């Protein structure tokens, strides 16, 4: 039985004028079902590069990323992504934006409609199905992004700084409600990987895993935190 | 911080809707959550520091929370109410239902839903703005209309098609 995701000694270098710039060095960690893992670090430390490699959008210089034991592919429908910038289509309604991922997956129209409704409701957006992104607050836009990611019923959900373009209060509310949402084990995904620069988003009670070797020049505070089982996490944060 | 001069206090006229015209439900809930985390009461400066938001941005959100009965402001101390606690312990769907009860009591919101109910047909944006202008002046009617649509959609009492610019009533899903 393979872990859901294996990040195996991933190193990423860029070369300029024959000189090597190491962005990531020997990053190594696993993600199992029900894990909620955060990649934490200040901006510029390579978090987003790591995430791009993990979802198969970029190749490591050395090392590998395995999903269910196989090399990750960018078109893997079991992996969904939530973006910092929401990445919604302004000319599509909430419903249409959420259905997009399902359309790409080849889900028939009726099923698409049903699944989109289900996840729009789960993120608290029932009532806004016919609204366009411009009619939504920032927090609601990101809820659409989350509904769209969940609608494809992925095993792994990746989130790249999902709260950082929101004002602090909106971010707090969304964070709390999203964690509440994942207390329901019937909802996808099986595991969550979140990239964030804000240590408080991890509530700093995670167990640090997969630290990069001290030999590499790493910015202070960078690392990977396993926050715990997602269902238990929600209760702990609420309580 | 108490929005004096803005007609704050539920039931004192249609301009009551003002305090929530420029804030989102997420901001109000986030504020309530933040105050709860520091023990349910805090002075405005502490909250501002705690949530890392300037007073000029925090002010309208505090005003809205107070207006909706989710916080009281006294001598600079902001205290969350029993209604807030009810919200904090509710899930996403229950929260909507609680906010629905609150919004339904806001006179200007009621004005619109009443108008739609009596008309028995979809209302155009134009006629609603006209009705609102008569009450709050034309330059505020536009913002108020947007806010009514926003809150109305959130609590699932209003459906609005921004392309045909028609508003209808809906029955909440559960």
Q: Would A39 be classed as within a structural domain?
A: yes
Note the pLDDT of residue A205.
Answer: 40
CATH of the domain at B164: 1.10.10
| Whether B89 contacts B27, CB under 8 Å | no
Note the pLDDT of residue B96.
Answer: 94
Note the pLDDT of residue B148.
Answer: 92
What digits encode the pLDDT tens for the residues A24-33?
A: 888 888 898 8
Note the pLDDT of residue A78.
Answer: 92
Radius of gyration of chain A (CA): 18
Q: Residue B100 belongs to what H/E stretch?
A: helix B92-104
Burial class (CB in 10 A: 0-12, 13-18, 19+), A113: middle
CATH of the domain at A136: 3.40.50.300
Q: Would B95 be classed as within a structural domain?
A: no
Joined tokens for residue B152: 């109305």
Note the pLDDT of residue A175.
Answer: 85
Taking Cα atoms as reference points, which of A206, A215, A194 lies closest to residue A149? A194
Contact status of A132 with chain B (Cβ, < 8 Å): yes
The answer, yes or no, to whether residue A212 has pLDDT greater than 70, is: no
Q: Across all residues in chain A, what is the average pLDDT?
A: 83
Burial class (CB in 10 A: 0-12, 13-18, 19+), B169: middle
Cα end-to-end distance, chain A, whole Å: 34
> Which of B54, B88, B122 marks a domain boundary?
B88
Using the structure block, give the residue that is written with the tokens 């964070």: A175
The answer, yes or no, to whether residue A226 has pLDDT greater than 80, is: no
d(CA A176, CA A234): 8
Note the pLDDT of residue A21.
Answer: 85
Judgement on whether residues B123 and B159 belong to the same structural domain of the protein: yes
HSE (side-chain half, CA atoms, 13 Å) at A151? 32
Residue A22 has phi, psi (to 5 degrees) of -85, 120
Q: Which 8-state DSSP code applies to residue A124?
A: T
d(CA A133, CA A123): 15
Cα end-to-end distance, chain B, whole Å: 36
The answer, yes or no, to whether residue B159 has pLDDT greater than 50, is: yes
**Cα dihedral A133, B58, B26, B151 in deg (nearest 10):** -70
Q: Residue A198 belongs to what H/E stretch?
A: none
Q: Would B3 be classed as within a structural domain?
A: no
Disruptive mutation site among A127, A201, A239 for chain B (greatest number of B CBs within 10 Å): A127
Q: Would B4 be classed as within a structural domain?
A: no
Q: Which residue has the higher pLDDT, A40 or A63?
A: A63
The answer, yes or no, to whether residue A210 has pLDDT greater than 60, is: no
Contacts of A177 in chain B (CB under 8 A): 92
Over range A133-149, report the average pLDDT.
Answer: 95
Range of the domain at B41: 14-88
Q: Residue A67 belongs to what H/E stretch?
A: strand A62-67
pTM of the model: 0.84
Q: Which residue has the higher pLDDT, A201 or A217?
A: A201
- In DSSP terms, A70 is beta-bridged to A67
DSSP symbols for B33-93: HHHHHTTSEEEHHHHHHHTT--HHHHHHHHHHHHHTTSEEEETTEEEE-HHHHHHHTS-HH
Strands A223-229 and B41-43: unpaired
Q: Would B59 be classed as within a structural domain?
A: yes
Joined tokens for residue A2: 């393979």
Contact status of A184 with chain B (Cβ, < 8 Å): no
Contact status of A186 with chain B (Cβ, < 8 Å): no
Percentage of chain B exceeding pLDDT 70: 90
CB pair distance less than 8 Å for B27 and A123: no
Q: Would B23 be classed as within a structural domain?
A: yes
Max CA-CA distance within chain A? 56
Q: Would B72 be classed as within a structural domain?
A: yes
Q: Across all residues in chain B, what is the average pLDDT?
A: 87
What digits encode the pLDDT tens for the residues B57-66?
A: 999 999 999 9
Q: Which residue of A has its CA nearest to B157?
A: A127
What digits encode the pLDDT tens for the residues A8-20?
A: 999 999 898 989 8
Sheet containing A79-82: which strands, arranged edge to edge?
A79-82, A156-160, A191-196, A35-40, A223-229, A207-209
What digits encode the pLDDT tens for the residues B123-142?
A: 999 999 999 998 888 888 99
What digits encode the pLDDT tens for the residues A69-117?
A: 999 998 888 999 999 999 999 999 999 999 998 998 899 999 999 999 9
Range of the domain at A139: 33-60+70-238
What digits encode the pLDDT tens for the residues B14-63?
A: 444 478 788 999 999 999 999 999 999 999 999 999 888 999 999 999 99
d(CA B167, CA B124): 6
The whole-angstrom distance between A29's CA and the closest CA on chain B is 33
Number of domains in chain B: 2
d(CA A14, CA A19): 8
The answer, yes or no, to whether residue A224 has pLDDT greater than 70, is: no
Over range B68-84, report the average pLDDT.
Answer: 94
pLDDT band at A149 (very low <50, low <70, confident <90, very high): very high
Q: How many CB pairs under 8 A join A and B?
A: 81
The answer, yes or no, to whether residue A129 has pLDDT greater than 90, is: yes
| Whether B55 contacts B73, CB under 8 Å | no
Q: Which residue has the higher pLDDT, A229 or B146?
A: B146
Q: Would A163 be classed as within a structural domain?
A: yes
Contacts of B160 in chain A (CB under 8 A): 130-131
Q: Would B61 be classed as within a structural domain?
A: yes
Which of B28, B31, B96 lies closest to A124 in CB terms?
Answer: B96
Judgement on whether residues B53 and B118 belong to the same structural domain of the protein: no
The answer, yes or no, to whether residue A50 has pLDDT greater than 70, is: yes
Over range A152-162, report the average pLDDT.
Answer: 93
> Which of B58, B88, B118 marks a domain boundary?
B88
Q: Which residue of A has its CA nearest to B95?
A: A124
Note the pLDDT of residue B30.
Answer: 94
Q: Residue B138 belongs to what H/E stretch?
A: helix B138-154
Note the pLDDT of residue A223.
Answer: 64
d(CA B3, CA A183): 38
Q: Would B9 be classed as within a structural domain?
A: no
The whole-angstrom distance between A4's CA and the closest CA on chain B is 29
d(CA A74, CA A58): 9
The answer, yes or no, to whether residue A208 has pLDDT greater than 80, is: no
CATH of the domain at B74: 1.10.10.10
> Which of B88, B118, B151 marks a domain boundary?
B88
């Amino acid at each position: 039985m393979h872990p859901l995701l294996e990040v195996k000694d991933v190193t990423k270098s860029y070369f300029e004028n024959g000189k090597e710039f190491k962005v990531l060095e020997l990053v190594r960690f696993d993600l199992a079902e029900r894990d909620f893992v955060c990649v934490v670090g200040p901006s510029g430390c390579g978090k987003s590069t790591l995430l791009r490699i993990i979802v198969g959008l970029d190749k490591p210089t050395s090392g590998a990323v395995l999903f269910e034991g196989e090399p990750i592919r960018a078109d893997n429908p079991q992996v969904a992504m939530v973006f910092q910038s929401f990445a919604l289509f302004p000319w599509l309604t909430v419903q249409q934006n959420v259905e997009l991922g399902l359309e790409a997956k080849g889900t028939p129209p009726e099923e698409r409609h049903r699944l989109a409704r289900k996840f729009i409701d789960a993120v608290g957006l029932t009532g806004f199905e016919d609204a366009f992104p411009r009619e939504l607050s920032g927090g609601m836009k990101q809820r659409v992004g989350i509904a769209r990611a969940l609608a494809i019923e992925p095993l792994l959900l990746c989130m790249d700084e999902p709260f950082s373009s929101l004002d602090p209060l909106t971010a707090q509310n969304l964070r709390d409600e999203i964690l509440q949402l994942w207390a329901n084990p019937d909802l996808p995904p099986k595991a969550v990987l979140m990239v964030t620069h804000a240590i408080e988003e991890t509530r700093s009670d995670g167990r640090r895993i997969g630290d990069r070797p001290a030999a590499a020049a790493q910015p202070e505070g960078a690392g990977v935190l396993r926050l715990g089982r997602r269902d238990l996490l929600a209760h702990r944060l609420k309580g | 911080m108490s929005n004096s001069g803005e007609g704050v206090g539920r039931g004192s006229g249609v301009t009551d809707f003002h305090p929530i015209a420029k804030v989102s439900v997420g901001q109000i809930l986030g504020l309530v959550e933040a105050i709860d985390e520091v023990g349910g009461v805090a002075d405005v400066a502490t909250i501002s520091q705690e949530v890392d938001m300037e007073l000029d941005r925090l002010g309208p959100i505090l005003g809205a929370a107070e207006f909706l009965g989710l916080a009281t402001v006294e001598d600079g101390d902001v205290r969350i109410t029993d209604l807030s606690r009810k919200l904090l312990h509710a899930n996403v769907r229950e929260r909507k239902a609680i906010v629905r009860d609150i919004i339904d009591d806001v006179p200007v919101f009621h004005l619109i839903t009443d108008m739609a109910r009596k008309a028995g047909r979809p209302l155009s944006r134009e006629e609603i703005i006209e009705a609102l202008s008569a009450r709050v002046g034309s330059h505020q009617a536009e913002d108020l209309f947007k806010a009514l649509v926003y809150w109305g959609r959130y609590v699932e009492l209003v459906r609005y098609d921004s392309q045909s610019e028609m508003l209808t009533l809906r029955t909440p899903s559960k």
